[in-house]
Structure 1
Amino acid sequence: MTKLHNDLLRDIGTLARTIHYLHDLHFKELALQRGQFIFLTRICENTGINQNDLSLLLKVDKSTTAKAVQKLTAAGYINRQRSSEDQRHWQLFPTEKALLLYDQIITEENTCLQLCLQNFKASERKELNRLFKKMCANLETHWQKTKGQKQRIEVQ
């Protein structure tokens, strides 16, 4: 039987699920459904982003983004407008309601980050951030290649 080389990815998964669970509990009080805060923050941070680019940024499929955008639009958090450059794309803009909520979301994320990094030295925090960015960069190339292959398969 093949043995796992180390538990790093399992630990990252556990950490991610725990953080999402805590965020979902907090954001439920703000009338956001599960995981919607991720879409909302990226739209606030990238005003005018189109749905396709939002999917690529978050590494989710287009249908997941479409559902989240539909729910956020219905809840009055974002407005969709046809792109003047490409009529096939919808640009996404946060509403005033979303911008007010954005500050609360970032405050919650910062609180969770402080909990995760308590007892870490400043140098350890900096190194951890550098290492995670390096891991993401390592996977980005593979993800792009895989995503490209998937798109070619869907077109045929």
Structure 2
Amino acid sequence: MSERIEMIHQFEENFRFLLKKFQKDLGELFGKEITFHEFLFLKHLSDGEPQMVSALSKKMKVTASYATTVVDKLLNKGYINRERSSKDRRIVELTITEKGTALIKKMDDKQTEYMSQQLEVISDSELETLNLLLNKIKG
């Protein structure tokens, strides 16, 4: 096996490990208030623009049924509202509540603190290079 292929496998393993670690740690950090996936959905709604479940599922790259399940949980917790569009009554839109906005702020702060701790082992220039490389992969 070539050296490049071995490095690619190592990258895959490291990437998978970090993804699982961050999800697990952030899930524990958020506690019982909200799951990591609920946080991500709420984050997408936090820009203030009303969104339909179908558009949200596309953004999140999940099935519509999974998006509906997460949305229902967020509705039950009072973090979002589901309302008919004033422009077209057939359309149901989701908006974030004040309670949801407050939670996002709190969780964003926790996430920033966590990531700062995790990344303190690398210098600012290394972090800049890492971001540059990840952006290259993103395309």
Q: Give the TM interval when normalised to the shorter protein.
A: 0.7 to 0.9
2:48 and 2:96 in contact (8 A); partners too? no
Counterparts of 1:59-138 in structure 2 under 5 Å? 59-85=61-87, 87=89, 89-137=91-139
Where does 1:37-52 land on structure 2 (aligned, <5 Å)? 37-52=39-54
Stretch deviating more after TM superposition (123-132 or 18-27):
123-132
5+ residue gaps, structure 1, are 138-156
Deviation at 1:116, TM superposition (A): 2.6
**CA RMSD, Structure 1 to Structure 2 (Å):** 2.3
Inter-partner Cα distance in structure 2 for 1:135 and 1:117:
20
Hey, what does 1:154 align to over in structure 2? none
C-alpha distance in 2 between matches for 1:99 and 1:9? 35
Alignment match, 2:35? 33
Relative distance call for 1:62 and 1:134 in structure 2 (3 A) is farther
- Alpha-carbon shift at residue 126 of structure 1 (Å): 2.0
Runs of 4+ in 1 over 6 A off after TM superposition: none
One-letter amino acid of the counterpart of residue 43, structure 1: L
Across the two proteins, how many residue pairs are aligned to each other?
Answer: 135
Residue equivalent to 1:20: 23
How does the TM-score come out when normalised to structure 1?
0.74
The AA in structure 2 aligned to 1:9 is E
Distance in 2 of aligned mates of 1:121 and 1:47 = 37
Whether contact under 8 Å (1:28, 1:34) holds in the other structure is no
Report the equivalent of 1:56. Answer: 58
CA distance in 2, matches of 1:43, 1:85: 19
**Cα separation, 2, equivalents of 1:49 and 1:130:** 31
3-state SS in 1 of match to 2:62: coil
- Structure 1 residues 88 and 60 mapped into 2: Cα distance closer, same or farther (>3 Å)? farther
**Corresponding residue for residue 6 of structure 1:** 9
Distance 1:88 1:129, change over 3 A: farther
Tell me how far 1:11 sits from its aligned partner. Answer: 1.4
Are the equivalent residues in 2 in contact too, given 1:20–1:35 (CA < 8 A)? no
